[in-house]
Structure 1
Amino acid sequence: MTSKETLTTPSAEYPVGAGLLAKAPSQSTSSLNDTPLSRASRIVAPPLPQVSGPTLEFAGVSLTLGRTTILDKVTFQVRPGSVHALVGPNGGGKSSLIKTLLGQMPHQGRLSVHWPAEPGTIGYVPQALEFDRGLPMTVDDFMAAMCQRRPAFLGLSKHYAAAIGEALERVGMQDKRKRRMGALSGGERQRVLLAQGLIPPPQLLVLDEPMSALDEAGIQVFERLLGDWRAAGITVLWIEHDLEAVRRLADHVTGLNRRVLFDATPQQALTPERLLTLFSTHPRSLA
């Protein structure tokens, strides 16, 4: 699967790009001469971040390939503007569920994307990048191929050059723009994938194990980006195996092993009993 796709529904076609970094709203300051009473009479709560992301609804989503059941009546909701983690064992259907969302897999049941206004951009960051490491493709060439319509061999277009430079700066790859992609480490290639996910700005961002190849510095970059996406009100659906990171960073967690076994906050979801059931060979439903 490429990192740029389109999701087609009966009502609209949603371009897949990724990423938005927004500043938190600033707070006003009071004069030193204000009295407590006068200040209290004018107190206004700081504005909440404007939610730009959609609500996702999976209602009885099932997927069968041959005689194998991949997804069994999966039902849960992703709240708008939240960081929603999807956890479970390998082969439990997490990536297949993502592919149904991106229009890559046939399925039964209902999958709905409810936008707050006009349909927006969907961003996708894949788990890994498979390519011929002998290709003479630099980081700039890759970003040009992913982020612009102009052929990559013609170089960066003026329209995207500044955005691409800023995205690479944010992930710490600005000084390696002329390096061949095949010469990068796995963690560096993953940072480049995150960078392409920042262009164009999305309202829905789908992440397939983005931390899998990152080193410690890359993990810090990712965590900072995740905070920025949350502050910007972007809806994030995040597949992750690092349960400690999920516990710290996610707003909500769904445990998936062919079917939904739990759907709760990280503190409620990531208990020893629930995790034992989730990763068992024959999971049973939890009340």
Structure 2
Amino acid sequence: MTAKETLSDTPPSPVGAGLLAKASGQSASLLNEPPHSRASPLPQGVSGPTLDFAGVSLTLGRTTILDNVTFQVQPGHVHALVGPNGGGKSSLIKTLLGQMPHQGQLSLHWPGQPGTIGYVPQALEFDRGLPMTVDDFMAAMCQRRPAFLGLSKHYANAIGEALERVGMQDKRKRRMGALSGGERQRVLLAQGLIPAPQLLVLDEPMSALDEAGIQVFERLLGDWRAAGITVLWIEHDLEAVKRLADRVTGLNRRVLFDATPQQALTPERLLSLFSTHPRSAV
């Protein structure tokens, strides 16, 4: 694997496959990552990758989902993706996950050797009657060893630290089904930290969080920025985006704006973005 990885309309590359594995509850690391590196901390002073979307289009049947989407996510930046429901945000992420056939290219430009990509989904769907504790869930998501055998010593410290960072250390033995929606979302954030990623893809991570959870997320976002991690963040809370993002892309089938939060989140641009049939970029 080279320092530049490209996803086009060819079969999914290890980048998309690695993200898809994380979303499916398997290993979060790239498929060719050596096992010993998967719990290692993010190297200090190493920036995350640049992410390029170049002419990405997606059509399902006669419906255009994405229309020539082009923008760039700068390394080490928190880049927010905003737009209406049905505007193509999740579909764009699915192309990155390797789940959607598309035209155009998605390219990752790593500053050195390809690193680790983390993914935090919007919600967790599972049978709440399952006798699965928080520790069991983290083990299933983060290690190759079967979860019913317990936490591997290799991952125990990393899992403990991740749960501590999201304020869930004291609920490790609670059943996942007994947690509130906000608590489950915190656990999802924790699993996104193992292994330490250089690129994080977040799909509306604040949607189920209470006020305390939002404060945890905002602190994590600051930590990720300070560590040089590249963050692509789908979010509907425009006030949070204005405060926390470095750059904002407005997507309603096509890119309507790509600018700093102060330039992007104006009444005129938001009116165009959330219109049923946006006329043009403003």
Normalising by structure 2, we get a TM-score of: 0.87
Partner residue in 1 for 2:22: none
Partner residue in 2 for 1:234: 229
Q: Distance in 2 between matches of 1:168 and 1:147?
A: 13
Find out whether 1:179 has 2:174 as its counterpart.
yes
Partner residue in 1 for 2:143: 148
Counterpart among 60, 66, 70 of residue 65 in structure 1: 60
Partner residue in 2 for 1:114: 109
Partner residue in 1 for 2:162: 167
User: Could you list the runs of 5+ residues in structure 2 that have no partner in the other structure?
Assistant: 20-27, 30-38
Count of matched residue pairs: 256
Contact 1:210 1:240 in 2 (8 A): yes
Find out whether 1:13 has 2:14 as its counterpart.
yes
Q: What is the Cα deviation at residue 52 of structure 1?
A: 2.1
Change (3 A) 1:166 1:270: same
Counterpart among 208, 216, 235 of residue 213 in structure 1: 208
Post-superposition CA distance 1:75-123 (Å, at most 9, x none): 1000011000000000100010011112111100111111111111110
Partner residue in 2 for 1:37: none
User: Could you list the runs of 5+ residues in structure 1 that have no partner in the other structure?
Assistant: 1-6, 24-48
Contact 1:20 1:229 in 2 (8 A): no
Q: Distance in 2 between matches of 1:66 and 1:20?
A: 44
Partner residue in 2 for 1:197: 192
Any idea what SS the aligned residue of 2:182 has?
A: helix
Contact 1:21 1:229 in 2 (8 A): no
Q: Distance in 1 between matches of 2:156 and 2:120?
A: 20
Identity between Structure 1 and Structure 2 (%): 87
The runs of 4+ residues in structure 1 deviating greater than 6 Å are: 18-23
Counterpart among 100, 109, 134 of residue 105 in structure 1: 100
Normalising by structure 1, we get a TM-score of: 0.85
Q: What is the Cα deviation at residue 21 of structure 1?
A: 7.8
Q: Distance in 2 between matches of 1:51 and 1:89?
A: 34
Q: Distance in 1 between matches of 2:276 and 2:13?
A: 40
Change (3 A) 1:224 1:22: farther
Q: Which amino acid aligns with 2:14?
A: E
Q: What is the Cα deviation at residue 50 of structure 1?
A: 2.7
Q: Distance in 1 between matches of 2:106 and 2:163?
A: 34
Q: Distance in 2 between matches of 1:233 and 1:50?
A: 7
Contact 1:54 1:115 in 2 (8 A): yes
Greater mean alpha carbon deviation, residues 217-226 or residues 49-58: 49-58
Contact 2:6 2:105 in 1 (8 A): no
Counterpart among 255, 279, 282 of residue 274 in structure 2: 279
CA RMSD of aligned residues (A): 2.1
Post-superposition CA distance 1:128-178 (Å, at most 9, x none): 000000111000000000000000000000000011011111101011111
Q: Which amino acid aligns with 1:85?
A: A
Q: Distance in 2 between matches of 1:12 and 1:22?
A: 23
